[in-house]
Structure 1
């Protein structure tokens, strides 16, 4: 096996050192704030299995950079709203940390949910079921 120059854990640590992390309780308190856009980057199967934060935008991890870039043919208007606070999340906070670090490199300001969706329901966060699509 090839030795990696940098492990995924090291990449997550480095990302967390330079991004804003939001605690679960703090995001629960702001879940109805119209100035906060919660972005779920988990795979659709994860969302169907465990539910989702009501009102969260689903942006699959593999498309995020393209969806926030106004010059991309895949750009989504939801990411062009002025004055909004964007908070990205995954299941445990690893993928979202890497995502937010990359977005900051692009010039897109965002934060991420430190512990991800893993502690959301346990701390009283609302959850909606995600229907399976055909």
Structure 2
């Protein structure tokens, strides 16, 4: 996929990323160790094919906002602090950027994503859980 093909989705992606402090794959473990909530939004098929992301909470993309919105009655217990850093991880870092922007709009001011997604993290030679 191209990030700059002139399409409406490419513009939306660029706008979304402009407000994110994106995490580099090599920084992910340190960010998690510092207290960030790392959320793997990949579908089960990708997780089965490529492996799990150690230390990540798995939340399906279709319920992400309901599980992390601090005001939602359907939120996870770990989602009670809107200032906590949340790092979303998708397969290649596209849908996670859009989702992180949405979480920011819901009040999770430190929501962001992993640049390049799971594939970039794995490309560094990291092993799956």
Matched, 1:61 2:69: no
CA distance in 1, matches of 2:9, 2:82: 33
Which residue is 2:8 aligned to?
7
CA pair 73-97 structure 1, distance change in 2 beyond 3 A: same
The answer to whether the 8 Å contact 1:25/1:123 transfers is yes
SS in 2 for 1:111: strand
The answer to whether the 8 Å contact 1:86/1:111 transfers is yes
Gap runs ≥5 in structure 1: 1-5, 129-134
Matched, 1:113 2:114: yes
CA distance in 1, matches of 2:20, 2:32: 23
Query: Structure 2-normalised TM-score?
Result: 0.83
CA distance in 1, matches of 2:83, 2:102: 20
Matched, 1:94 2:94: yes
Query: Structure 1-normalised TM-score?
Result: 0.80
Gap runs ≥5 in structure 2: 1-6
The answer to whether the 8 Å contact 2:23/2:113 transfers is yes
Which residue is 1:24 aligned to?
25
Which piece of structure 1 moves more, 75-84 or 11-20?
75-84
The answer to whether the 8 Å contact 2:23/2:115 transfers is yes
Deviation at 1:21, TM superposition (A): 0.6
Which residue is 2:4 aligned to?
none
Deviation at 1:69, TM superposition (A): 2.2
Q: Structure with the greater relative contact order (CA < 8 A, sep ≥ 6): 1 or 2? A: 1
Greater C-alpha Rg: 1
CA pair 126-32 structure 1, distance change in 2 beyond 3 A: farther
CA pair 43-18 structure 1, distance change in 2 beyond 3 A: same
CA distance in 2, matches of 1:84, 1:68: 11
